[in-house]
Structure formats: C-alpha cells, structure tokens
Structure 1
Amino acid sequence: MTAAPLPFPAPEGSADAPRIEALTVFVRGLTVEAGIGVHDHELGRLQPLVIDVTLELTPAPVERLGDTVNYETVAAAARAIVAEGHVGLVETFAQRLALACLADPHVRRCRVRIDKPGALAGAVAPGCEVVLSR
C-alpha cells in the first residue's frame, strides 16, 4: 500500500489557510577567539567566547534566502567585532553584535548570549545576555 501524498495548505485568503505567527532564526555555539577583558592578564591575548544568537523576524513566507537572515551573516558580524580589536566587556561585545543583527530589516528582536569559559574559577561559563528590539 502506498502512502497518500501530503496535501498542500489551503489557498491564501481561505478560512483554513495557516498564518505565520513567528519566524525565528538562530545560531548556537559559535566559538570565536577574541581579545576581551578588563584585567591586566587579559590584555594582549585571545580568549574563547561561545555565542548564541536568536533572531525574531517579521513573520512572512520564506521562499528564498533574501526572505530571511543568512546564518553566515551573523557569524561574519561576530568575527568583524573580533577583528576591530580588543573589547573590554562581554556586555559591550553582545550589544555590538545585537545592533549589527538589528541592522537587517527582517529582524524585529535580537537576543545575544555570550559565555566566557574559563573566566571564573568554579563556573562552567560566566557571561551575559542582551536583548534588543525595535
């Protein structure tokens, strides 16, 4: 017995047509080596940061890459902040990355979480989380 094909959604405008309520794009566990920190022992060396970014987009149909946010754009923005040079605070890094993500007109809300492994004895990963929206 063969399975019946899945039906296509009801036509737009019909009472049964599904509506897009949310569209979220995320990048989790992006690791970069960054010049970061305010203490003397942190200056002039790189430290790992583990970055999670969650983007809430304007709900809309997605048929092509231009209808959404490319994951590579998020990674490139994080790497560009690293390339700019030493950043004193993880919070500053997170805010810069969130602002870069909000530059995309599809993005309504951006959550950036950054873990700084090894920065605090006895902790798996201290860090911060920032949420920006328009």
Structure 2
Amino acid sequence: MTKVFVTGLRVEANIGVYDREMGRSQPLVIDAELDVPTAGAERLAETVNYETIAEAARQIAASGHISLVETFAERLARSCLSDPRVTRARVRVEKPLALAPDAAAAGVEITVVRG
C-alpha cells in the first residue's frame, strides 16, 4: 500500500459558527493522507496526483461559508474517496486562529475507509 500525502496545505476559508467569524475568511492548515494500492507504479496515471487533493481543498474552501471544521474535513475525505483507487483517507484540518494566542491551533482529524 502506498501513502499519498499532502501536509501543511494552507487555504483561506469562510468558516466558523461565531458572529466574529461570519463574513470573513481565516486560514486553515490541512494534512491529508490517502492509502492507494500503487505498487510498481511508474506513471502519474497509475497513482493519485497529490495536486488533486490540494485542488479539492481549495474548491471546498471556495464553495461558501462552512460552519464546522468537521464538515470541511468530511467533505475533503469524501472527495478523496471519489477516486476508486483510494481505500482510506485521513484528513486533519487545523484552525490556527481558533484559540489564539493560547494555542497554536485547534481542529479535527477524520478517517474515512472505503466500505
């Protein structure tokens, strides 16, 4: 099994449930790790291009206001599973400003497994 991953991807998103978060974007930091059976792959077409993970995250961020980081993470994990070769997607979404200056970040991590 191969792990395809993206770490530390920064996107701006309109996200949050508090009044102070409405109508403004804030940074998210995203890590994604996908299990893909690509033993012996020698061409990009034989594996998952990690740029597609980044593009999916950007599209979710651009889709409009999202209340919860859990929702963002779930949407990204499900998007990754849309490639039938992906058997597991682990997505971690951090909100660096959520508890600033008391914490470096807060967020969620979700794992979705093809059933």
User: Do the structures match in fold with TM over 0.5?
Assistant: yes
**What letter corresponds to residue 112 of structure 2 in structure 1?**
L
Residue 40 (structure 2) aligns with: 61
Aligned residues: 113
Higher strand fraction: Structure 1 or Structure 2?
2
For each residue in 1:39-71, what CA deviation from the matched residue of structure 2 results, as whole angstroms up to 9, or x when unmatched? 000000000000000001124321111111111
What is the distance in 2 between the residues matched to 1:104 and 1:60?
Answer: 17
Q: Separation in 2 of the partners of 1:64 and 1:79?
A: 25
Counterpart for residue 38 of structure 1: 17
RMSD (CA atoms) = 0.8
SS in 2 for 1:120: coil
| 2:11 equivalent to 1:25 | no
Q: Secondary structure at the match of 2:52?
A: helix
For residue 27 of structure 2, what is the aligned residue in structure 1?
A: 48
Amino acid at match of 1:108: T
Q: Which blocks of at least 5 consecutive residues in structure 2 are unaligned? A: none
Q: Greater relative contact order: 1 or 2 (C-alpha under 8 angstroms, separation 6 or more)?
A: 2
Gaps of 5+ in 1: 1-21
Normalised by the length of structure 1, the TM-score is 0.82
Q: Where has structure 1 moved over 4 Å in runs of 4 or more?
A: none
Q: Could you state the TM-score of these two structures normalised by the residue count of structure 2?
A: 0.95
Query: Corresponding residue for 1:74?
Result: 53
Identity %: 60
